[in-house]
């Protein structure tokens, strides 16, 4: 929250008319996601676009506080739940403004490198046979499948909301902190 508030203060200094609300969100926690959604909805703001971008990558096996493998919890379940909780707000915004809504799930080419049989729904929380790279891949595959299915459902309802999954390319971010091999691809002065 400190970094978010610092960014808010900087923006407001540069543009005093800007309205910026900072809300806490931990995508690894369903309670936090629900609290964030409730707090956002209570602000009665329009919602035209939702970019599901936060993520973690190549983490050693661990479970979230909800008992879900942490990469799947953070990279997929958190985004899935957040989208579902805010979808009515976005639908109402589309209806009130006539402006198309958009949901963007940041995915990854890593979806090609998930477990051999795809998403291991029956073994999401199984430490046996866990691979941090394949677990990351399955979380990204889940993002793509979610975007495809949500898009299909909204089109069937006739709702003017576009849903996409996007591979952003390879950019040096703290996301790579658990991967020495990927970190070595970037110069020290990143």
Examine residue 42 and state whether it is found in any structural domain, yes or no.
yes
37: helix, strand or coil:
helix
pLDDT tens-digit series, residues 46-65: 999 999 997 898 899 999 99
Count the domains in the chain.
1
Examine residue 29 and state whether it is found in any structural domain, yes or no.
yes
**Where residue 168 sits, what CATH number does that domain have?**
3.40.50.720
How far CA 106 is from CA of 111, 114, 177, in Å, comes to 11, 16, 18
**Edge to edge, what strands does the sheet with 101-106 contain?**
49-52, 101-106, 161-166
Examine residue 48 and state whether it is found in any structural domain, yes or no.
yes
Comparison of pLDDT for 170 and 43, the residue scoring more: 43
How many Cβ atoms are within 10 Å of 93's Cβ, its own excluded?
19
Examine residue 28 and state whether it is found in any structural domain, yes or no.
yes
**Which residues is 52 bridged to in the sheet?**
105
DSSP state of 184: T
Examine residue 188 and state whether it is found in any structural domain, yes or no.
no
DSSP state of 38: H
Provide the domain limits for residue 35.
2-183
- Which residues are marked as active site? 130
Q: Which of 144-148, 172-176, 183-187 has the lowest mean pLDDT?
A: 183-187
Cα separation, 82 vs 18, in Å, equals 25
pLDDT tens-digit series, residues 83-109: 999 999 999 999 999 999 999 999 888
Examine residue 21 and state whether it is found in any structural domain, yes or no.
yes
Examine residue 58 and state whether it is found in any structural domain, yes or no.
yes
DSSP state of 124: T
Q: Is 185's pLDDT higher than 50?
A: no
Examine residue 103 and state whether it is found in any structural domain, yes or no.
yes
pLDDT at 186: 37
Query: Per-residue pLDDT averaged across 143-147, rounded?
Result: 95
């Amino acid at each position: 929250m400190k970094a978010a508030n610092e960014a808010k203060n900087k923006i407001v200094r540069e543009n005093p008319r800007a309205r910026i609300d900072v809300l806490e969100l931990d995508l690894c926690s369903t309670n936090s996601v629900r609290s964030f959604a409730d707090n956002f909805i209570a602000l009665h703001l329009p919602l035209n676009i939702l970019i599901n971008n936060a993520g973690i990558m190549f983490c050693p096996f661990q479970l979230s506080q909800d008992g879900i493998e942490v990469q799947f919890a953070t990279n997929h379940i958190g985004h899935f739940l957040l989208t579902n909780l805010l979808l009515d707000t976005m639908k109402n915004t589309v209806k009130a403004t006539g402006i198309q809504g958009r949901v963007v799930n940041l995915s990854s080419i890593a979806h090609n490198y998930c477990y051999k049989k795809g998403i291991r729904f029956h073994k999401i929380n199984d430490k046996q046979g866990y691979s941090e790279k394949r677990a990351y891949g399955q979380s990204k595959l889940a993002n793509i499948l979610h975007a495809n299915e949500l898009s299909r459902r909204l089109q069937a309802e006739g709702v003017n909301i576009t849903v996409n999954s996007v591979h952003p390319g390879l950019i040096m971010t703290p996301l790579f902190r658990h991967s020495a091999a990927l970190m070595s691809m970037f110069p020290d002065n990143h």
